[in-house]
């Protein structure tokens, strides 16, 4: 299809798509600026403005634009074969004062692909659908993948009334309704997208680590997405005491016990990694109670968040058992009490191997040598894969990490990713699967898929 187009005209179309993407991302940064970065709250003004911008851009080629019951925006152009669709997308929310590219670059790349087809006055082989997904960053609602789960009719209904937004304290259902959407339909598992029609879900995304930069590789193709377990609200309780008047033998220091747990888990991580296991362990928040702590006070309480991830479920289970055992041992020796609190989990998820092979072929046709790699962070692609939809991810090199104002992306790398996507969609229809195996009717257990990209 595209192979018959003169190179000069094809390059002109790719440039037009790239220019649109750059304009959109620049405007998005300006409209959702919250120095030193950007803030796009899930089911809030920034996320709403981002959806509006994407819809306005797609109006230039008369795309069909609808919202589903949860507010996921679906932007479609018809293909030569209307029985199947290729979905490209990601999320538009951000962490507070975060970067502009996490999530949004994937949505914008999908729109750039539609713009290329429009510029060439060609139809894609199947319906080309851009998904603007809601509420992926679990810093807002402590249950990740809300957008992709609702898009597929797979959200546990209890989440609507039990999960509350971190800044407002109001439920997910409240915020959906306030934005004009229908949490009751979400509760029933109703959806607009039929996963049985999806030949592939593709999520372009900036890499959130340093691997591509270290390897001098512009793009990565993802094999697997790590699973996780998280204790978001763990606590250690000791006894408050005077720092000068309480001797060592009589102290019940919650901070010392917490520090010991941190270092014990660090040692366990190092031991498992030496034995060849994939694992990362993070204590992302540790602190004392600001209402009671002080310079001359032995801490009587600490709060901590624990985030453990692996591509192997057995390793996750072993690390969780070890964490619990260590907390009991330290509590007994230090005469303190650990309360780990509720746990959220996600299963390690493999991306489609046939789609990965076709992505490799497309990259080769563009002269790109991508790195084959796993994703340490969670992404909406995991939800689609768990629903039986052939799913894949393209990582774009990013020197500055993510979830910070310095997120960056070399524009030449974005253009390579766009060219790769166009080459993928130019592959013959007979190479594509008939559509996702999943029906989207299944419900996930509480906490399933709860890894997020944070």
Q: Where are the domains of the chain?
A: 2-226+348-431, 229-346
Number of H helices, E strands in the chain: 13, 18
Task: Domain 229-346: state its class.
Answer: alpha beta
Size of the chain in residues? 454
CB atoms within 10 A of CB 30: 10
User: How many Å apart are CA 251 and CA 262, to the nearest integer?
Assistant: 19
φ/ψ bin of 121: left (φ > 0), alpha (ψ from -120 to 50), beta (otherwise): left
CATH 3.40.50.300 assigned to domain 2-226+348-431? The reply is: no
Q: What's the sign of the alpha-carbon dihedral 347, 348, 353, 355?
A: positive
Instruction: Report yes or no: 104 and 204 within 8 Å, Cβ to Cβ.
Output: no
User: How many Å apart are CA 402 and CA 292, to the nearest integer?
Assistant: 34
Entry pTM: 0.90
Per-residue pLDDT at 449: 39
Mean pLDDT by 10 residues, the chain (454 residues): 82 96 97 97 98 98 98 98 96 97 97 98 96 96 93 97 96 98 98 96 95 96 95 97 97 98 98 96 96 95 97 96 98 98 92 96 96 94 96 94 90 97 94 66 39 42
User: How many Å apart are CA 152 and CA 172, to the nearest integer?
Assistant: 17
In order, the DSSP letters of 141-158 are: SSSS-HHHHHHTT---TT
H/E stretch holding 131: strand 126-133
Sequence-distant (≥ 6) Cβ neighbours of residue 95 within 8 angstroms: 39, 102, 137, 139, 403, 454
**Residue 424 DSSP one-character state:** H
H/E stretch holding 66: strand 64-67
Closest CA to 381 of 229, 191, 223: 223
SS3 content of the chain, % helix, strand, coil (to 5): 40, 25, 40
Per-residue pLDDT at 148: 97
Per-residue pLDDT at 437: 57
């Amino acid at each position: 299809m595209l192979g018959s187009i003169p190179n000069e005209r094809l390059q002109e179309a790719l440039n037009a798509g790239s220019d649109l993407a750059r304009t959109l991302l620049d405007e998005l940064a300006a409209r959702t600026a919250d120095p030193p970065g950007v803030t796009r709250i899930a089911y809030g003004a920034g996320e709403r403005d981002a959806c509006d911008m994407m819809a306005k851009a797609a109006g230039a080629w008369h795309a069909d634009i609808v919202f589903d019951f949860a507010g996921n925006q679906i932007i479609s152009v018809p293909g030569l074969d209307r029985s199947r669709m290729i979905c490209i997308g990601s999320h538009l929310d951000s962490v507070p004062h975060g970067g502009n590219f996490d999530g949004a670059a994937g949505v914008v790349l999908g729109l750039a692909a539609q713009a290329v087809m429009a510029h060439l006055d060609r139809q894609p082989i199947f319906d080309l659908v851009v998904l603007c997904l809601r509420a992926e960053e679990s810093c807002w609602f402590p249950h990740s993948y809300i957008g992709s789960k609702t898009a597929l009719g797979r959200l546990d209904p209890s989440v609507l009334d039990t999960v509350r937004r971190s800044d407002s304290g109001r439920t997910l259902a409240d915020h959906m309704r306030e934005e004009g959407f229908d949490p009751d339909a979400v509760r029933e598992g109703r959806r607009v997208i039929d996963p049985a029609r999806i030949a592939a879900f593709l999520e372009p995304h900036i890499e959130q680590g340093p691997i591509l930069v270290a390897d001098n590789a512009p793009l990565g193709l993802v094999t697997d997405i790590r699973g996780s377990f998280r204790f978001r609200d763990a606590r250690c309780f000791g006894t408050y005491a005077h720092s000068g008047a309480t001797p060592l033998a009589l102290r019940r220091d919650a901070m010392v016990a917490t520090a010991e747990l941190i270092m014990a888990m660090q040692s366990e991580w190092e031991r498992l990694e030496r034995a060849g296991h994939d694992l990362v362990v993070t204590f992302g928040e540790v602190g004392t109670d600001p209402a009671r702590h002080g310079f001359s006070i032995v801490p009587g309480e600490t709060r901590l968040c624990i985030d453990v991830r692996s591509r192997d479920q057995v390793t996750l289970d072993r690390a969780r058992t070890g964490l619990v055992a260590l907390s009991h041992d330290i509590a007994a020796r230090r005469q303190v009490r650990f309360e780990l609190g509720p746990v959220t989990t996600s299963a390690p998820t493999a991306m489609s191997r046939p789609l990965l092979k076709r992505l490799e072929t497309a990259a080769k046709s563009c002269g790109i040598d991508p790195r084959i790699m796993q994703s340490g962070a969670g992404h909406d692609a995991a939800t689609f894969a768990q629903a039986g939809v052939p799913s894949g991810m393209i990582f774009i090199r990013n020197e500055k990490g993510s979830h910070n104002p310095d997120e960056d992306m070399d524009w030449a790398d974005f253009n390579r990713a766009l060219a790769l996507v166009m080459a993928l969609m130019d592959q013959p229809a007979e190479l594509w699967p008939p559509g996702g195996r999943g029906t989207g009717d299944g419900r996930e257990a509480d906490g399933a898929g709860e890894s997020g990209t944070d």
